[in-house]
Amino acid sequence: MKAYLLTGLMALLFGTAFTQVGKISLTECYQWAGEADPRTANDQTLQQITRLELDNLEATRLPSLDLNGQVSYQSDVVELPIEMPGFQGPELPRERFQVTIDAGYTLFDGGRREARARQLQADLEAQQKDIEVQLYDLREQVDRWYFTILEARQQRAVLETARKDIQERLDQLTAALQYGTITAGDLDRLRVRDLELETQIDQITSAEQSALRTLERLTDTTFTSNPRLSLPDFDPGLRNSDPLRPEFALFEAERSRILASESAITAQRQPVVRLFLQTGLGYPNPLNFFDDALSPFALGGIRASWTITDWKQHQRQREQLTLRADLLERREASLRQGITRTEAAYQERLQQLGNQLEKQASVLELRRRILAQSQQRLDRGLITTTDYLEDLHAQTQAYLRVDQLQLQRLRLQAEYRTRFGLPISQQ
């Protein structure tokens, strides 16, 4: 009988021989799942929003121009308390009308505009990193279905080889029935086991196809009916004490956001200097006390403003940023501690699987020898088909266990790489 393990690995790597069309890997599935997730489109939307905000901010460099109008009535007006013969003071109207065009241009804003631009860029980067963190969780879902497919293929390959062995025995023993060396019941037992294996294979194939369709929906990709799945590379010396998860890039972006906010607070404390110009029509003339007709006027100059005291508002804002930075540091330390704490558990589990695989390989070799002897004895009529089927079942289970342990090691290392943010190596 052909080696089950070789057949299982060939099935894992190539699926059904000579029918392979597609090829996929864990890394590609990670990428496709991220691209298929609707949240990926948020990155472009956030960039557009930031671009519009920056354009608006850049527009503040240009002069401002406003049209203003006012109509009012006042209860009293200024009167000159002068009584002189032949002199009569002006009578100012109680109604007032004024239309103006007000222009302004900022000569110096204390760095407010540049600080706000840095804030917008820091906000965008932090939001983009947050999207990466959200999408990173898809790796666990991909791992689940990818290895479900691999496990189903491994089981199917072993069972198909066992079924082939039974069919070979049926062909050989059918002739022996004519000579009376075996009974019809012996053949029926082989046929029953053949049907049982066929049913198991059908069930496993159905589960494999279901997992494959789920992976298709998750990645929004159409696979061939039996695509080739690349095996992740197993690295027995894999160690990583410095997690590279996207959360740590997010923490760094959050620090940049805090620094940008601090720069904005500093800029708010700086003076502002502006040019201004006002021109329009007024009734009466707002610049000429004695002109009570509708008259044009104009006023221009430089205006400066500087907040002397804000009653410690900026100081409290800085204290808030300091506290947020402290919270950020503790969040990062907690995540790093939680990830690295599992390092020893992963290594211990990998060691256990390695020891179990070594022992199970020895068991498998013994089972192969036992079955080879049973095949010869069955062909000579020295044992019953029941004895043979028991030995065949024991070897099948040994092969399944070896392949299962191999997959468990690969899956555990894939989980390890996901946990620490490491790339997946492919065979």
Per-residue pLDDT of the chain (427 residues; tens, 9 = 90+): 444 444 444 444 444 333 332 788 999 999 999 999 999 999 999 999 999 999 999 999 999 999 999 998 887 776 666 666 655 556 777 888 899 999 999 999 999 999 999 999 999 999 999 999 999 999 999 999 999 999 999 999 999 999 998 888 888 777 666 666 567 787 888 899 999 999 999 999 999 999 999 999 999 998 888 889 988 888 877 877 778 899 999 999 999 999 999 999 999 999 999 999 999 999 888 888 778 788 999 999 999 999 888 899 999 999 999 999 999 999 999 999 988 888 888 889 999 999 999 999 999 999 999 999 998 888 887 888 888 899 999 999 999 999 999 999 999 999 999 988 888 865 5
**What distance lies between CA 87 and its chain's CA centroid?**
87
Tell me the CA end-to-end span of the chain in Å, nearest whole number.
28
Domain count for the chain, please give it: 1
**Contact present, 151 and 404 (Cβ < 8 Å):** yes
> What pLDDT does 309 receive?
87
18 in a structural domain: yes
Long-range CB contacts for residues 172-180, cutoff 8 Å, separation at least 24: 172/379, 173/378, 173/379, 173/385, 176/381
H helices within 15-89, ranges in order?
A: 26-36, 41-59
CATH number of domain containing 134: 1.20.1600.10
Strands 23-24 and 228-229, how do they pair? parallel
In 3D, which of 148, 146, 149, 160 has the Cα closest to residue 7? 160
Give the H/E segment covering residue 228: strand 228-229
161 in a structural domain: yes
404 in a structural domain: yes
> What pLDDT does 76 receive?
74
Domain membership of residue 113 as a residue range: 4-63+109-269+345-420
H helices within 246-312, ranges in order?
A: 246-268
DSSP 243: -
What proportions of the chain, in percent to the nearest 5, are helix, strand and coil?
65, 15, 25
- Separation of alpha carbons 276 and 260, rounded Å: 30
232 in a structural domain: yes
> What pLDDT does 285 receive?
85
Which residue's structure tokens are 């006002």? 278
How does DSSP assign 111-130, residue by residue? Answer: THHHHHHHHHHHHHHHHHHH
What is the number of helices (H) and of strands (E) in the chain?
10, 6
Which residue's structure tokens are 């329009």? 280
282 in a structural domain: no
Residue type, 378: L
How does DSSP assign 157-173, residue by residue? Answer: HHHHHHHHHHHHHHHHH
> What pLDDT does 232 receive?
83
112: Cβ contacts below 8 Å, ≥ 6 apart: 264, 267, 268, 270, 272
pTM over 0.75: yes
**Contact present, 26 and 410 (Cβ < 8 Å):** no
Longest Cα–Cα distance of the chain, Å, equals: 159
**Contact present, 231 and 411 (Cβ < 8 Å):** no
**Contact present, 11 and 154 (Cβ < 8 Å):** yes
280 in a structural domain: no
> What pLDDT does 341 receive?
86
**Is 103 in a helix, a strand, or coil?**
strand
85 in a structural domain: no
167 in a structural domain: yes
